Amino acid sequence: MASLGWDSFFDENEGRYYITQQSVNRAVEEERARHTASSNQQPPEKELPHDAKASYPQPAEASHRRYAESSEQMKELERQNRDLEIATRAKDYYLEQLQKERAQHVEQLVGMSRYVGELETQLLGLGGAPRGDRTLPKGAESLRKILRNDDPTPQAEQS
């Protein structure tokens, strides 16, 4: 075989090294020169089939193809990046809106709760009982009896 180094390039898509046509031609010529020097007979020159030449990409073509593919990949990655940035901004805006709405609802809830408490206090002051299934806290039942004058102890003392 030829002792010359092979000119080659690496195709990243296929993960292979390809030797250049010039490197092959140089190695063939070297082998022919060795063979003619040793036996004075020159083997008949066989031409590579037309398909074989076309199947190996030329270095310039392969470089151009790799550049075009990497350019397309870069454009696609930039598009994806832009889409992700837009989605992130939209998500952040939506979360801010939800937080504002939640704060408003909490304020309304606290305000309504205070108002309901005031109304219950007024109702108890008038001698009524709160509506619904609510139970009064411990100690509040005795307060209600006192306010309604239903407590038997004070009535017994009046007689």
Question: pLDDT of 13-66, one tens digit each?
Answer: 888 878 888 888 888 888 888 887 777 655 555 665 555 555 555 666 777 778
* 63 part of a folded domain: yes
Regarding pTM above 0.85, the answer is no
Same domain membership, residue 86 and residue 132: yes
Looking at the structure of the chain, the number of domains it has is 2
Same domain membership, residue 96 and residue 48: no
Same domain membership, residue 65 and residue 21: no
If you average pLDDT over residues 73-87, what whole number do you get? Answer: 94
SS (H, E, C) the chain: CCCCCCCEEEECCCCEEEECHHHHHHHHHHHHHHHHHHHCCCCCCCCCCHHHHHHCCCHHHHHHHHHHHHHHHHHHHHHHHHHHHHHHHHHHHHHHHHHHHHHHHHHHHHHHHHHHHHHHHHHHHCCCCCCCCCCCCCCHHHHHHHHHCCCHHHHHHHC
* 158 part of a folded domain: no
> CB under 8 Å, gap of 24 or more: what pairs does 45-50 form?
none
Same domain membership, residue 99 and residue 76: yes
Same domain membership, residue 137 and residue 70: yes
* 132 part of a folded domain: yes
Cα–Cα distance for residue pair 105/113, rounded to 1 Å:
12
Same domain membership, residue 66 and residue 130: yes
- Supply 152's token pair: 């038997």
- The residue assigned the tokens 């992700």 is 84
Interval 99-154: pLDDT, tens: 999 999 999 999 999 998 888 888 888 877 666 655 655 655 665 565 555 545 54
Same domain membership, residue 98 and residue 25: no
Same domain membership, residue 93 and residue 53: no
Cα–Cα distance for residue pair 57/149, rounded to 1 Å:
105
Same domain membership, residue 53 and residue 21: yes
- Full domain range(s) for residue 76: 58-150
Convert 55-66 to b/e letters by CB count within 10 Å (16 or more is b): eebbbeebeeeb
Q: What's the pLDDT at 26?
A: 86
* Biggest distance spanned by C-alpha atoms of the chain: 150
Q: What's the pLDDT at 158?
A: 46
